[in-house]
Amino acid sequence: MSDKQDTVILTDDLIQPFQMAEAGVRGRLVRLGKCVDDILNRHDYPEVVARFLGETLVLSAVLGGALKFEGIFTVQTKSDGAITMLASDMTTPGHLRGYAAFDPDKLAEAEGAPSTDLVKQYLGKGYIAFTIDAKDTDQRYQGIVALEGESLSQCMEDYFDKSEQLETKLISSVEKRDGKWRAGGLMIQRLPSEDGRIFNQDAHDEAWRNAEALVSTVQSGELTDRNMRSPELLYRLFHEDGVWLHDPQILQDKCSCSEERFFRTLQTFGATEVEDLADDGVIKTDCQFCSAQYVFKMSDIVGADQGS
C-alpha cells in the first residue's frame, strides 16, 4: 500500500476497531471528513441542526461498525422541540446517509433561550432509537431510550449501561474547520470474561476505570483533527495497556435509494392514493436523505399494480 493510500485510510472517513485484551476492553474510533461535509452541506441546515445531525452520523458509524452481517444500522430521534427528528443510517459495508426535520420558528425561539443542556434546548422531550435490520431476513432489533442527557452520545451511553448492562463510554465531536465540517467519535465497552468468571475482579474493575479516565482526557479537537491519525490517537491513550488495531472500515457518503425502491413503494398505494399524488399524470418523489428526485407516470404505476 502506498503512503498516499495509507494516509487516506488512516485519517478520514473510517471506523477503526481496536481492543485492549489485557484490560478487557474493546472499542471503535470514527473519523469523518469529506463524508460528513458532503452530507451536511447537501441540506444546508442551520448550524445547530447540522451539528446534531453530524452527531447522529457518528453514532450510526461507531455503533453500526459492530455489525457482522449485511444490514442497516439506523439512529433516529423523535421529539417535540425545535428539531423534531434526526435520522441517519449506515448500510454495510459503510454507506452513510442522514437528514433532519426542524421548525424554523421554534428554532429561533430555542436559540434565544441559551442553556447548558443542548438536547433539552433544541430537541425537547422525546426519544432516540436505534434499529438493526438484517438484509434479506425478517430479523430486526430495536432499542429505545429517552432523550435525557447533555448529548445524544450520552443518551446512547446510558442505554447500554441500563438496558444492555454493558458498561460503555462514548464521546463525539462535530466541528466546522476552515469552512468544512468534520466529526469524530470514540467508544469503549467493557468485555465480560469468556467463561463468565473473573479471577481478579479488583484488577478488572481498575482496568475499566483507567480506560474510562483515559477516554475522558480526549479533547473534541483531537477527534476532528485531520492531522492526527487514528493509530496515533489510540496509541497515545492506551499504549501502556497495549492496544490492538483491527482492519479499518471505510465510510462513504452513499444513499440506498433507487428508482426501483420508490416504484415498489408507490405500487403499494391504492389507485385513488396514486391519483391524489399525481400532477398531470406524473408523480415526482424526492429522497429526504440525498435529495435525488424520481419521476413516474401514474399510468405505469397503476398499470403495473393491476398486472401483478
Per cent of the chain over pLDDT 90 is 59
Domain with CATH 3.90.1280.10 in the chain: 259-307
Read off φ and ψ for residue 130, nearest 5 degrees. Answer: -125, 140
Residue with the bigger pLDDT between 297 and 82: it is: 82
Q: State the pLDDT confidence band at 3, using cuts at 50, 70 and 90.
A: very low
Query: Which pLDDT score, from 0 to 100, does residue 63 have?
Result: 95
pLDDT tens-place string over residues 28-40? 999 999 999 999 9
Decide if pLDDT at 5 tops 50: no
Please give the helix or strand (H or E) that residue 69 lies within, else none. Answer: none
CA-closest candidate to residue 48, choices 7, 134, 108:
108
Query: Which pLDDT score, from 0 to 100, does residue 194 have?
Result: 57
Decide if pLDDT at 307 tops 70: no
Decide if pLDDT at 305 tops 80: no
Q: Tell the CATH topology of 3-253.
A: Hsp33 domain (3.55.30)
Q: State the pLDDT confidence band at 256, using cuts at 50, 70 and 90.
A: confident
Span 238-261, average pLDDT: 90
- pTM for the predicted model, two decimal places: 0.87
Give the pairing type, strands 71-79 and 244-245.
unpaired
Q: Is the N-terminal amide bond of 231 cis, ω within 30° of 0? A: no
Domain with CATH 3.55.30.10 in the chain: 3-253
Of 90-94, 118-122, 169-173, 259-263, which range is least confident?
Answer: 259-263
β partners of residue 14: 31, 250
Q: State the pLDDT confidence band at 7, using cuts at 50, 70 and 90.
A: very low
CATH of domain 259-307: 3.90.1280.10
Query: Which pLDDT score, from 0 to 100, does residue 121 have?
Result: 96
Query: Which pLDDT score, from 0 to 100, does residue 143 have?
Result: 93
pLDDT tens-place string over residues 66-82? 988 899 999 999 999 99
Query: Which pLDDT score, from 0 to 100, does residue 293 have?
Result: 87
pLDDT tens-place string over residues 217-244? 999 999 999 889 999 999 999 988 889 9
- DSSP code at position 147: S
Taking the chain, what is the end-to-end CA distance rounded to the nearest angstrom?
Answer: 51
pLDDT tens-place string over residues 135-165? 877 788 999 999 998 899 999 999 998 888 8
pLDDT tens-place string over residues 170-215? 999 999 988 999 999 999 999 876 545 555 777 878 989 999 999 9
Kindly tell me the sign of the dihedral angle through the C-alpha atoms of 247, 251, 257, 258: negative
Of 11-25, 194-208, 249-263, which range is least confident?
Answer: 194-208
Q: State the pLDDT confidence band at 308, using cuts at 50, 70 and 90.
A: very low
Q: What is the mean pLDDT of the chain?
A: 88
- In one-letter notation, the amino acid at residue 7 is T
